[in-house]
Structures are given as C-alpha cells and as structure tokens.
C-alpha cells in the first residue's frame, strides 16, 4: 500500500496537532491566579509575583496574584480549596497555613485531602537571637538562665499561632523552660521591640537579622535548621547547640485544589521548580532573605504531613485557639 506525499503531510500535521493538544491538556487553559493568603509585601506575596511573571509565558495566558489575607492565612487557603480543579486557581502555602492552621482552626480543612501540593519552592531559616545585654553567649547559657528565672524572661513573636510562636513553644517543651510570649502584630513590630530592648529573645529569619548581627545589636545563638546557614557559618544548629532533634523552618510552596489532573499537577510542578531554581529567581529569593528549597509534589506532601505532626504538640502545649 502506497501513501502519497499528501497523505504523509496530512499525517504529520495531524500528529503535530495531537501532540500540541496533549501538551496543552496538562496546562491551565485560561488566565490563572495565584492566591496569596497574606497582604502585599510579605515574603510569600513577593515570591508569588516572581512565579506569576514567569509562569504566564509557559501557560500562554495571564497569571496574576490575588491577595486574600485573614484568619492566619485560612481565608486565602480556603479559597483555593473551594476553587475548580482546573489549574486556573493556584495558591501559596506555607508552614503556618498548611502545617499549623489545621490544628488551630476547626474549619481549616485537611491540606492533603482538600488541596493538591504542587511544588515545594523556598524556605526561610530562622536564628535564635538574644540581646547582647542579656549576658548569654550560647543556647546552653540561655537555658540555664531561663531555668534560674522561670516566667521572668520574655520572647517576642509576630502573633498567636504563628510559626515563630510555635518554634518557641517547641523550644520550651524540649528544654523544660518557662519563657513568656509577648505577641506583636507582625514581624516588623517584633524587630522594633527587640532593638528597643522591650524583649530580649526572638526567633527571626537570618536575612532579616543579619544586618543587626553584623552591627553588634543582636547576638545569634543557633539556627533552626539541620545545617548551618552560609551567611552565619560560625553559628551552630540548634542540635549542635544542645537541643537534640530541633529542626524547624518556614517553608513555602505552590498548591492547587484537590482533584487537579495528575498530568497537570506534574507539569506545573516541573515548570514551577525550574522557574524557582533559575539563577534570576534564586538570586531574588536570596535578596528577600530566603533560600531556594525545591521538591516535587510527593516531597511537598510528605513535608506537610511530617510538619503537621511536628507542630501539633506545641499547639496543644501553648493552648493556641483561633483569635
């Protein structure tokens, strides 16, 4: 049987069309929004804008950021949960909204049942920092001081139920100390209070603390991750400093509603990870005080599950309830 040139050409065009249709099927088919459960200016907002700008050419449609703050991030996260699973609504999830809120807020939903983790993207490593006036030079010295003065030392944190709040409560549980929480309305007021001497102890992102550490206005005791931070190579990890098993970070990733097609989930995951790991975006993330820390959908889901279990004891111990 002979096939003429026209037949071959028609078959080729048809094959290309089918391949194009297959490729298009694993991407959103219209304008896409990325819901940020925080006001403009936050790290997750700035990161979402980096992703939106670079994802738009990939999907061939506009990609915009939609800020939906409130209820510790639960309002924006709930909006993603309730959206159609067609890829046209994505969101930014972080430690608080995906690992903490389900334990704090009764209507927060289950992030692994009501959402689809797409890609893990970045993290902020925090550093336990004290005022030079406190007179301690190590975590062990801080623990000893706190035990000698139960209920007399204060720490500052940006809101009840925040990741930083739970870091401190976990620290207290693991070290048997009684340090009193002083809540503020956000990280900026905490920093102002710390520099003014109102609170002598804080956990804060390395990028935010670095200028104050370099100026001698803050003394770093330990970083909260498993490995040391490259900007503070002489500062030990919390485990090295004498608190075994302490590893807590503020991470960020992209989420979608439950039920999104697996092919679309995997394609978006690959594209978003590639965007995040690009030199330009990685440099921006570093300037914003974060670190690129990527993973596919499976790794992101596993992290959510493990951190949800990790934070639960601190939520219970601190008796954290919705405000």
Q: Does some domain include residue 244?
A: no
- For position 323, what pLDDT does the model report? 60
Q: Does some domain include residue 2?
A: no
Residue 145: Cβ within 10 Å count? 19
- For position 3, what pLDDT does the model report? 45
> Does residue 312 sit in the same domain as residue 177?
no
> Does residue 131 sit in the same domain as residue 117?
no
> Does residue 105 sit in the same domain as residue 162?
no
List per-block mean pLDDT (blocks of 10 residues) for the chain, which spans 323 residues.
45 44 73 94 93 97 95 91 97 93 84 97 96 97 97 91 86 94 88 96 93 97 93 96 91 97 97 98 93 97 93 80 66
- For position 285, what pLDDT does the model report? 95
Q: Does some domain include residue 232?
A: no
Rounded CA-CA distance 160/181 in Å is 9
Domain that holds residue 35: 31-123+249-317
> Does residue 170 sit in the same domain as residue 203?
yes
- Count of domains observed in the chain: 2
Domain of 254, CATH number, reads: 3.40.190.150
> Does residue 117 sit in the same domain as residue 258?
yes
Q: Which of 165, 188, 223 is the last residue of a domain?
A: 223
Q: Does some domain include residue 18?
A: no
Domain of 178, CATH number, reads: 3.40.190.10
Q: Does some domain include residue 231?
A: no
Kindly list the distances between the CA atom of residue 29 and the CA atoms of 50, 61, 134, 268, in Å, as whole numbers in the listed order.
21, 8, 57, 13
Rounded CA-CA distance 22/284 in Å is 33
127 contact partners, CB below 8 Å, separation of at least 6: 203, 204, 205, 206, 209, 213, 220, 221, 222, 223, 224, 229, 232, 235
Rounded CA-CA distance 254/272 in Å is 8
Residue 19: Cβ within 10 Å count? 10
Among 30, 95, 32, smallest CA distance to 66 is for 32
- For position 107, what pLDDT does the model report? 80
Q: What are phi and psi of 184, to 5 degrees?
A: -130, 170
Q: Give the pTM.
A: 0.83
Q: Does some domain include residue 84?
A: yes
The 3-state secondary structure of the chain, one letter per residue: CCCCHHHHHHHHHHHHHHHHHHHHHCCCCCCEEEEECCCCCCHHHHHHHHHHHHHHHHHCCCEEEEECCCHHHHHHHHHHHHCCCCCCEEEEEEHHHHHHHHHHCCCCCCCCCCEEEEEEEEEECEEEEECHHHCCCCHHHHHHHHHHCCCCCEEEECCCCCHHHHHHHHHHHHHCCCCEEEECCCHHHHHHHHHCCCCCEEEEEHHHHHHHHHCCCCEEEEECCCCCCCCCCCCCECCCCCCCCCCCCEEEEEEEECCCCHHHHHHHHHHHHHHHHCHHHHHHHHHCCCEEEEECHHHHHHHHHHHHHHHHHHHHHCCCCCC
Among 287, 197, 289, 215, smallest CA distance to 252 is for 289
């Amino acid at each position: 049987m002979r096939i003429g040139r026209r037949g071959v050409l028609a078959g080729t065009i048809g094959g290309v069309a089918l391949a194009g249709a297959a490729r298009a099927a694993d991407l959103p088919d219209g304008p896409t929004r990325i819901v940020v459960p925080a006001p403009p200016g936050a790290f997750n907002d700035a990161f979402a804008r980096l992703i939106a700008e670079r994802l738009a050419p990939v999907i061939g449609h506009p990609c915009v950021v939609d800020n939906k703050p409130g209820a510790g991030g639960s309002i924006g996260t709930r909006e993603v949960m309730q959206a159609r699973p067609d890829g046209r609504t994505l969101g930014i999830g972080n430690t608080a909204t995906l690992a903490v809120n389900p334990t704090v807020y009764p209507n927060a939903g289950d992030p692994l049942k009501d959402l689809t983790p797409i890609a893990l993207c970045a993290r902020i490593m925090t550093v336990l920092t004290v005022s030079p006036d406190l007179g301690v030079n190590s975590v062990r010295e801080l623990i000893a001081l706190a035990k000698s003065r139960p209920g007399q030392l204060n720490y500052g944190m940006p809101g009840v139920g925040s990741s930083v709040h739970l870091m401190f409560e976990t620290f207290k549980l693991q070290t048997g100390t009684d340090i009193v929480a002083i809540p503020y309305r956000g990280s900026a007021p905490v920093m102002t209070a710390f520099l003014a001497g109102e609170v002598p102890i804080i956990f804060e992102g390395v990028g935010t603390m670095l200028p104050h550490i370099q100026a001698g206005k803050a003394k770093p005791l330990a970083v909260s991750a498993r490995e040391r931070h490259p900007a503070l190579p002489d500062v030990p990890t919390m485990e090295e400093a004498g608190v075994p098993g302490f590893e807590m970070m503020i991470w960020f990733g992209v989420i979608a509603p439950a039920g999104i097609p697996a092919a679309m989930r995997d394609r978006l995951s690959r594209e978003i990870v590639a965007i995040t790991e690009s030199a330009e975006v990685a440099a921006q993330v570093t300037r914003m005080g974060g670190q690129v820390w990527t993973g596919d959908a499976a790794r992101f889901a596993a992290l959510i599950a493990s951190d949800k279990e990790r934070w639960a004891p601190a939520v219970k111990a601190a008796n954290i309830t919705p405000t």
